[in-house]
Structure 1
Amino acid sequence: MKKNYLVLFALVISMGIYAQSGTIMTSYDAQSAGRGGTSIGVFNSYELMMTNPAGLAFIKNSSINVGLSLMQSKLHFKNSINDKDSETGLSPMPNLGYVNKSSKGDSKWTWGLGGFTQGGMGADFSLNNELYRAQSFETSDGGNTYYPLKGDYELQDYHSKFAVMEFGPSVAFKINDKLAIGASLHVVYSMMEFQMPFGMNPSIMQGEAMPGLTFGQLFSMDPAQGGFGYQEVTASANMSNLSTISWTGKVGLAYKPNAKLSIGLNFNLPIALDFKKGKATMDMSKQFEDAMGRSVYGFYQDPDHQGVPLNDAIQGIGAGFAQMGIDLSKGVSGEYDLDLKMKMPLSIGYGMSYQASSKLNIALDVVWTNWAKAFDKMEMTMSNGTNSNINTMIGGTGFDFDFPLKWKNNVTLKVGGEYAFTDQFTFRMGYAYNSNPVPEATVFAITNRSPFFDL
C-alpha cells in the first residue's frame, strides 16, 4: 500500500492575546484556529499530540506539518497616573509535527513526533511610577527650613517575556474500530525575563538598624515615631537569563461510535518549572532618594534644626545612616544570582464533533484549567548579593520572596464548525469563551489578561 503524505504550511496571525487562555494557546494549527480552537473531538490533525493523542488513531494518512502563529500583545494599562497602550511587536510561535500512519491497514498503532509553542506572555510599557519623580529641595521661612519637592515623572520600562515549548513523541493504540487510547511524553523548555520597579513589603529587610529595630521596622514605622512610613519598598529590578528544561505528559481517550459522531477526553499533567542560574539586578537608588527627602523634612521639624544649611543637614543624615552600617558612597544597587519556581497547570478537556452532512462538521470543546494551584505564586530566591548596603539592610547576601499571583481556576468553552464548499475551499468559523483567571488584586502592567472571548 502506498503511503500518502500531506505537507501543510499554516500561517495564523493572532491579534492581541485572542488566541490564548491564560498563558496557553487555544489552538496549534490553522484548521482548529478557524474552528475557535476545537480539536479534542476532531480526529484529523497533528495538533492532537497536544490536545488528545488518542485521536491520532483515527487519522487516515501520514503527514508532515509546519505552522507559525504570530502573536501581537496589544495591552492597555490605566491607573491614576497612567493611561497608555503597550508597545506592539510580533512574537513568532512555531509548531511542527510528523504523524506516521502505518501502511499496513490492520495496524492498531499510530505515532507522532512534534514540537509546539504551548504558550506564553509578554508586554513592553513605558509608565509613570509614583516613586520615580525628579526631586529637589525648596526652602521656606526665609531659608530656615527645607522640604522635598517632587517634579516631573521619570518614565520607567516595564518588560516581560515568558514562553513554554514542548517537544516529543505521541502514540495512539486503536482498541477496536470505535475506541482508542493515546499518550504524549514531552520535554518542556521554558524561558522568562522581566524588568520593572519591584515593590516589596518592608519586612523583607531583616538587618538590624539599631538594637531591637530592623530596617524593615524603621522603613515602615510612622514618621511621628522616627520612621519613614513606607508600606512598601521599591527597587528597579531586571531579571534575565532564566531558563529551564522539564517534562510533561498527556493521556487521551477517543471514541467514534459511528461515522458522524466523535468524542474525546484529555488529561494534561502539570509542569514544574524550576528556573536556575538566572541573574537579577536590584537598584534601590530612587527609594533612598525619597527616604533622604523624608529625612530632610523630618530634620527641619525639630525647632533646634531650623536655620541649619541644607548641605549640613544632608551630611548629618548621612552620618546617621553610617551609624547603622550604611555607607551611602557605595550606592544601593546590587547584582544577584536568581532561582525561580513556578508551575504550568493541570487541565482536563472534553470534546466532540458531529458530521452533520457530507460538507458540514460542527465541534465543541470544554476545558477546565487548574490555575489556582499552578499560578498561586512565583517563588524567587536571590543569593550572592554584591552590594554591602543592601546586604546590611536585608541581613544577609540574599533573600527569598514569594511573588503573589493568586490566579483562579477557569473554564474555556469553544464552539466551531467548518463547511467544505469544494475539495479546495473550506470555510471555518469558531468562538471561544474564557472565564478570566487573573484577579484584579494581583494583575500588573506586564501580565497579559485572559480575554473573555475569541472569535
Structure 2
Amino acid sequence: MNWRNALVLSGSGLFVLGMSAQATAGGLWLNEYGDFSSGRASAGAAAGVDDASTMLHNPASMTRVKGGQLTVTAAALQPSLKFSQDSDPALGPGGGNGGDAGVFSPTGGVFYVGDLDSERWDIGIYFSGLAGSGLEYDDDWVGRYQATESSLMIAALAPTIAYRVTDKLSIGASMQMIAASLNMKLRTPALLPNGTDGRVSLDGTDVSGGYTLGVLYELSANTRIGINYQSELDPDFSGDLTLENINRSVATNTELSMAQKVRLGVHHELNEKLSLEFTLGWDDWSAFDQVFVSTQNVSGGLEKNSRDTTHTALGFQYRFSNQWKMTGGLSYDTNPMNSLYRTADLPLDRQVKVAAGVEYQPDESWKLSAYANYTDLGNAKIDAGSWSGEYDTDAIYQLGFSASWMY
C-alpha cells in the first residue's frame, strides 16, 4: 500500500470509528429481554420476576425461584426510522432522506436455575443479548458521510450465584463473558473535483468480561425492593477497515464503552389479583467524554459529549384466574445527547415505551407468555453543519414470547 492510500485509509478510519463511537453514547442497553416482565416495560423487574430470567434483572432475586427452572425467550424488533431534511437541502451535500432505515432484528435468551436442595444457595446460568442497534439507509442519502449501514451486537454468557443471608435479605452476582460485534458502512467525499464518493466498511469483534451485582430485600410477603448494578463494558474492537473503491484494507482498533448502570425495582401486591411495579434507573454515560481510536498510521481521541440518563418505569400485573395473568407498563429514558453530537448511526432522543403482555400457566410444570411494546425514540434532530433535519418517524415495534419449565 502506498503512502497516499495509507493516509486515505487512516483518515477514513478515524472518521468511521468516530461515528461508531457515538453509537454507544446512550440508549443501547436493553431494558427488556423477552421475558414476561417485558409486558410491563420491565417495571419492578429488579425486585424479582417469576421465572428463571430473573437473574438477568437482579442475580439476588434467584433465591425466590423454587426448584429447577428453564426459561427460553425470543423477540422480534422492527425499527422504523424516517428522516426529513430541513428546508433548502441543496446547500448541503445533496441526496435524499434515506428511506426507512429500520432493520429487523431478533433477540432472546436462555436462562436456567439449578436446584441445589439448599435453603440458602442458588446457582444459574444464562445466555442473552444485552445491547444492540441496526439500521440501513439509502446509499445516496444526505447523511451518507455519517452512515449508510450500522449494526452493533453485545451478548453475554453468565454463570450466576445467589445467597439468602436472612429470611428477608438476599445477595447475588453474575460473571459475564461478553461477545461483541460492530459493522459499519458509509460514503466518503470524493478526493478530486468531479470525482465519485468513496465507500468505506468497518468490521470488528471482541470477547471481554463484565459483571452484575444484586441485592433483594423482602419487606413482607407482599412487598420487595431490589437493586441491580451492571458494570461498565469495554469491548475493544479489532477488525478491518476497507476502502472499497481502491480495494485496500487496514487494521483498525477502537475502544468503546457501555456505561455502568443501576436499576432499583419495587414490587407491591395490593391484593391477590393486582400487583404494582416501579423502577428507577441511572446510566453513567457522561463518564465517557472521549473514545480512543487507531489505525496502523494514526490514532486519537474522539469527543462524545454524552450525558447521564435516567430510566423510570411504572407497571402492573393482574391475575384473572389461576391460569391467566395480564400486564401493562410505561417507561421513560432521558435524552443522552444534543443535536450537535447526535449522528445518523444512532438517532436517539428521549425514549417512551408502552407495553402489554399476557401469561398462561395451566399447571405447576410449565407456562407461556407473550407481549408487545412500542418505543417512541423522539425526533432525534441532527445538526451536522452542512445539513440538518429530524426524524418524522423514529420508533421500535417489538413482539416477544417466552416459555418456562419447572422441575
TM-score (norm 2): 0.72
Measure the CA separation in 2 of the matches of 1:156 and 1:334: 20
Q: Which runs of 5+ in 2 are unaligned?
A: 1-25, 90-94, 355-407
- Equivalenced residues, count: 317
Shift of residue 174, structure 1, vs aligned partner: 0.3
Distance of aligned partners of 1:57 and 1:83 in 2 relative to their CA distance in 1, 3 Å threshold: same
Q: How does 1:169-188 map to 2 (within 5 A)?
A: 169-188=159-178
Q: Contact 2:213/2:229 (CA < 8 Å) preserved in 1? A: yes
Measure the CA separation in 1 of the matches of 2:218 and 2:290: 41
Distance of aligned partners of 1:101 and 1:360 in 2 relative to their CA distance in 1, 3 Å threshold: farther
Q: Compare 190-199 and 33-42 and name the one that shifted more.
A: 190-199
1:64 has 2:54 as partner: no
Distance of aligned partners of 1:120 and 1:377 in 2 relative to their CA distance in 1, 3 Å threshold: farther
Deviation by residue 1:83-120 (Cα, 9 ceiling, x = unmatched): 3433444211121110124335xx20011100010011
Measure the CA separation in 2 of the matches of 1:44 and 1:130: 48
Q: How does 1:16-55 map to 2 (within 5 A)?
A: 22-38=27-43, 39-55=45-61
Q: Which has the higher helix share?
A: 1
Q: Secondary structure at the match of 1:422?
A: coil
Measure the CA separation in 2 of the matches of 1:354 and 1:362: 5
Q: Contact 2:127/2:157 (CA < 8 Å) preserved in 1? A: yes
2:137 corresponds to which residue?
A: 125
- What is the one-letter code of the residue matched to 1:113? I
1:359 has 2:320 as partner: no
Q: Compare 185-194 and 54-63 and name the one that shifted more.
A: 54-63
Distance of aligned partners of 1:161 and 1:417 in 2 relative to their CA distance in 1, 3 Å threshold: same
Deviation by residue 1:223-277 (Cα, 9 ceiling, x = unmatched): xxxxx9xxxxx8532112x10001111111100021111000111110111112x
Measure the CA separation in 1 of the matches of 2:325 and 2:181: 37
1:73 corresponds to which residue?
A: 79
Distance of aligned partners of 1:273 and 1:340 in 2 relative to their CA distance in 1, 3 Å threshold: same
Shift of residue 371, structure 1, vs aligned partner: 1.3
- What is the one-letter code of the residue matched to 1:85? G
Distance of aligned partners of 1:130 and 1:24 in 2 relative to their CA distance in 1, 3 Å threshold: closer
Distance of aligned partners of 1:239 and 1:426 in 2 relative to their CA distance in 1, 3 Å threshold: same
- What is the one-letter code of the residue matched to 1:237? V
Shift of residue 48, structure 1, vs aligned partner: 2.7
Measure the CA separation in 1 of the matches of 2:60 and 2:114: 14
Q: How does 1:77-226 map to 2 (within 5 A)?
A: 77-79=83-85, 80=89, 81-104=95-118, 107-128=119-140, 158-198=148-188
Distance of aligned partners of 1:131 and 1:334 in 2 relative to their CA distance in 1, 3 Å threshold: farther
1:259 has 2:221 as partner: yes
309, 320, 337: which one pairs with 1:410? 309
- What is the one-letter code of the residue matched to 1:116? S
Distance of aligned partners of 1:82 and 1:42 in 2 relative to their CA distance in 1, 3 Å threshold: same
Measure the CA separation in 1 of the matches of 2:155 and 2:60: 21
Q: Contact 2:68/2:114 (CA < 8 Å) preserved in 1? A: yes
Distance of aligned partners of 1:239 and 1:254 in 2 relative to their CA distance in 1, 3 Å threshold: same
Measure the CA separation in 2 of the matches of 1:78 and 1:273: 33
1:435 has 2:348 as partner: no
Q: Secondary structure at the match of 2:50?
A: coil
Distance of aligned partners of 1:362 and 1:114 in 2 relative to their CA distance in 1, 3 Å threshold: same
Distance of aligned partners of 1:121 and 1:438 in 2 relative to their CA distance in 1, 3 Å threshold: farther
Shift of residue 403, structure 1, vs aligned partner: 4.2
Q: Secondary structure at the match of 1:372?
A: helix
1:334 corresponds to which residue?
A: 248
TM-score (norm 1): 0.65
Measure the CA separation in 2 of the matches of 1:131 and 1:272: 28
Deviation by residue 1:271-325 (Cα, 9 ceiling, x = unmatched): 111112x111236x7xxxxxxxxxxxxxxxxxxxxxxxxxxxxxxxxxxxxxxxx
Q: Secondary structure at the match of 2:235?
A: strand
- What is the one-letter code of the residue matched to 1:379? F
Shift of residue 448, structure 1, vs aligned partner: 4.2
Shift of residue 198, structure 1, vs aligned partner: 4.8
- What is the one-letter code of the residue matched to 1:162? L
Shift of residue 333, structure 1, vs aligned partner: 6.3
232, 243, 261: which one pairs with 1:282? 243
Deviation by residue 1:398-439 (Cα, 9 ceiling, x = unmatched): 212544432221001011111010122111100000102132
RMSD of Structure 2 on Structure 1 (CA): 2.7
1:236 has 2:199 as partner: yes
- What is the one-letter code of the residue matched to 1:244? D
Distance of aligned partners of 1:192 and 1:118 in 2 relative to their CA distance in 1, 3 Å threshold: same
Measure the CA separation in 1 of the matches of 2:323 and 2:349: 35
Distance of aligned partners of 1:197 and 1:401 in 2 relative to their CA distance in 1, 3 Å threshold: farther
1:298 corresponds to which residue?
A: none
1:148 corresponds to which residue?
A: none
- What is the one-letter code of the residue matched to 2:54? L
2:325 corresponds to which residue?
A: 426
Deviation by residue 1:149-206 (Cα, 9 ceiling, x = unmatched): xxxxxx997000100001021111001110111111110000001001257xx9xxxx
Distance of aligned partners of 1:442 and 1:102 in 2 relative to their CA distance in 1, 3 Å threshold: same
Measure the CA separation in 2 of the matches of 1:369 and 1:273: 17
Moved over 4 A (4+): 129-132
Deviation by residue 1:319-358 (Cα, 9 ceiling, x = unmatched): xxxxxxxxxxxxx663211111111111112111001111
